Amino acid sequence: MFLINCPYCGEREQSEFSCGGEAHISRPKNPPDTSDDQWADYLFMRKNIKGVQFERWNHSSGCRQWFNVVRNTSTDEILGIYNMGEAIPEIDGENPKTPSGEPEIGSGNISTSFKKK
Amino acid sequence: MILNRENAVIELKDQTIKEYGGIEFQEIAFAQKINLRGNSNNKSFMTLQGKLLDAVLPTKSNTYTNNGKIKILWLGPNEWLIVDEDKKNNELFLKLEKSDSHEESAITDVSENRTIIRIRGKKIFNLLAKFLVIDLDKNLSNDSSVVQTLFVKVPIILVRNNSNVVEIDLYVNRSHANYVYNLLVDGTKNLDF
């Protein structure tokens, strides 16, 4: 549970929002020329970062508007909020150091065998 | 077209006012509600709607405007809910629909979607605080406040009326109205905290 500062409604509780997953994933400009691997990468592959991640959120129980959030997935600390279409802001934050040194990309403490290209 | 005249809350039939723990409940069942969508940055759209409704569409978030006949609630930067409590038919909707010449706007009659439970009393905030996660003092402090939030898990709209006693209109889906009302009545016990 944490608070999110909706750019339109103000500070509200997380249960009013829906997370739309990783932000800034653009659709391939020419789908017929896109290989299956590239298409699968666009559709399914997500970074799942343990640390600072750029996400899309929707205030589904409020104004129903989409916006971008920069969130530290380890601590749920919100480092920035900006509107759709705006440039990615510079974030002054480091991914947390973990004792076992697992990779940033992975699920929790279990490292995965793939990395996003 | 005549609107559905059945109350959604069984205990509040025929404009009955019930009182529990110093808080009054009444259902405003037959208000006409129109959902209006359009670009608030489009000056001609805003001017046209303002003339038709004889009221200004609110552009400030979480507020409503009131011209004495209708209320216009802010639902989003490009969405409003027009509420006409007195009208028992859809005259206003037909008027807006007839003059809708904007390509980037949409008008929908949503009168049957929600009902209004009017709550009046000094300890309303104590009652609502049992069910809501929002900061009521911050979000419902002004007489023209509108808040869209969740009541337990039911989507609701709260509108603070301009009244001497604290009075709040709770807009809720008709199908959830009894559930919400029963929870509110149950919550009126032990309000002195």
ipTM confidence: 0.87
Per the CB < 8 Å rule, is A13 touching B62? no
CATH architecture of the domain covering A3-111: 2-Layer Sandwich (3.30)
CATH 3.30.360.10 for the B32-109 domain, yes or no: no
Is the CB of residue A23 less than 8 Å from the CB of residue A56? Answer: yes
Is the CB of residue A67 less than 8 Å from the CB of residue A81? Answer: yes
Selecting from A10, A13, A63 the residue whose C-beta is nearest the C-beta of B133 gives A13
Helix (H) or strand (E) holding B180: helix B174-187
Domain B10-30+112-187, CATH? 3.30.1360.120
Q: What is the pLDDT of residues B136-190, one digit of tens each?
A: 998 998 888 999 999 999 999 999 998 888 999 999 999 999 999 999 999 999 8
> Which residue in this structure is represented by tokens 């932000």?
A23
Domain with CATH 3.30.70.1520 in chain B: 32-109
Provide, as residue numbers in chain A, all residues whose Cβ is less than 8 Å from the Cβ of B61: 8-10, 63
* CA-based radius of gyration for chain A: 16
Give the pLDDT of chain A (117 residues) as one tens digit per residue: 789 999 999 999 999 999 999 999 999 999 999 999 999 999 999 988 888 899 999 999 999 999 999 998 888 889 999 999 998 888 876 665 655 665 555 555 444 444 444
For chain A, the farthest-separated pair of C-alpha atoms sits apart, in whole angstroms, at: 45
At B113, the amino acid letter reads N
Strands A106-107, B70-76: pairing is unpaired
Rounded CA-CA distance B42/B49 in Å is 11
Chain A with chain B: Cβ pairs closer than 8 A: 36
Provide, as residue numbers in chain A, all residues whose Cβ is less than 8 Å from the Cβ of B148: 9, 61-63
